[in-house]
Amino acid sequence: MSTVSDVNGPGRPLRITALAGGVGGARFLRGLLAHLAASPDPARREAVVTVVGNTADDVTFHGLRISPDLDSVMYTLGGGIDEERGWGRAQETSGVAAELAAYGAGPSWFTLGDKDIATHLVRTRMLAEGATLSEVTAHLCERWRPGVRLLPMTDDVVQTHVDLADGPGGALRRVHFQEWWVRLHAAVPAVRIEAVGAAAATPAPGVLDALGGADVVVLPPSNPVVSIGTVLQVPGVRQALVETAAPVVGVSPVIAGAPVRGMADACLSAIGVPTTAAAVAGLYADFLDGWLIAEGDEAPDRPGLAVRRRPLLMSSPAATADLAGAALDLAGEITDRERAA
């Protein structure tokens, strides 16, 4: 069987671009890098991976600019992640949080570990000195060496806000995504989810080129609304996905009608989309070429879409590497099919 690498001519490293949220995206990307490193195919082994990270979860607490999704990718790929939680630093302590609590300085529901705070201090200081978020992220990655080029989706401020109908008499109140997600565990139904600032944002340097110039574009099983969905709202990104010559392949974050981790079902409900692998594919219908779903899940009814059933649980590094390999194999099949047509 030929592989997608053939499209480059033999031996040229594959250019892979992935969109990513936080924990789900990061775990998948770690599997992708493991798969590539172990591949017998030199085009895969020497592949160059660019990650376009969601920044709409970004939030400022205590004056510190926090980029949870970029940090989850950076720490996970750089070996600094707390494996059990899936986010934040390993061997973390909470001395600063305890001191803040003693001052009654909230929010008490958002955990900031001591080590993690150093990241936010560096980010906040650099931004205050005039650096862009892209520059800050590149600088932080000099330490973590994540093995990918990590780009924020935009250098502009975009923040996901959520309208909740739990005010007096059902009145709407608007909260930052983090308050809904972390404080309320998305238990209060969202009436509306809006990526504030997205429509006026500019893609960060390199983002559109990374999509247009890729050999393969991968959508990890990140949250389709507040991770992938917000990246797609940055003007130009969706169009770049429609126009790229690269096959766009995705992994469903939904198995058997439920998200694997977290509350993505609450996000899908808010935008009126059922929590099924097929419905999530529908959100990407204008650009998606291939879709991996779990055994037993129903395939989307779309003639042009190549669907494969694979084990989708990222239950171990090896299983995750296999899943990433399956995504690249599917991309290869699509490329071969298009060239034969």
Q: Which does 260 bind (CB under 5 to 8 A by kind): ligand GDP, Ca ion, none?
A: ligand GDP
Distance CA 332, CA 128 (A): 44
Which residue from 28, 12, 1 is spatially nearest to 223, judged by alpha carbons? 28
Distance CA 203, CA 154 (A): 5
Piece of 16-24, 195-203, 252-260, 320-328 that binds Ca ion (CB under 5 A): 16-24
Single residue of 41, 58, 69, 333 touching Ca ion by CB under 5 A: 69
Q: Which does 290 bind (CB under 5 to 8 A by kind): ligand GDP, Ca ion, none?
A: none
Query: Is 240 or 292 the residue whose CB approaches ligand GDP more closely?
Result: 292
Q: Are strands 248-251 and 290-293 parallel, antiparallel or unpaired?
A: parallel
Which residue from 183, 196, 190, 188 is spatially nearest to 163, judged by alpha carbons? 190
Q: Which does 251 bind (CB under 5 to 8 A by kind): ligand GDP, Ca ion, none?
A: ligand GDP
Query: Is 21 or 31 the residue whose CB approaches Ca ion more closely?
Result: 21
The answer to whether 273 touches 266, Cβ cutoff 8 Å, is no
Query: Is 272 or 303 the residue whose CB approaches ligand GDP more closely?
Result: 272
Q: Is 22 in the site for Ca ion (CB under 5 A)?
A: yes
Piece of 22-30, 34-42, 152-160, 254-262 that binds Ca ion (CB under 5 A): 22-30
Helix (H/G/I), strand (E/B), else coil: 219: strand
Q: Which does 140 bind (CB under 5 to 8 A by kind): Ca ion, ligand GDP, none?
A: none
Distance CA 16, CA 53 (A): 14
- Residues forming the site for ligand GDP (CB under 6 A): 20-25, 69, 72, 221-223, 227, 251-253, 255, 259-262, 264, 312-314
Q: Which does 324 bind (CB under 5 to 8 A by kind): ligand GDP, Ca ion, none?
A: none
What is the CB neighbour count within 10 angstroms for residue 65? Answer: 21
Half-sphere exposure of 89 (CA within 13 A, CB side): 14
Distance CA 205, CA 27 (A): 25
Which residue is at the shortest CB distance from Ca ion? Answer: 22
Enumerate binding residues for Ca ion (CB under 5 A). Answer: 21-22, 57, 69
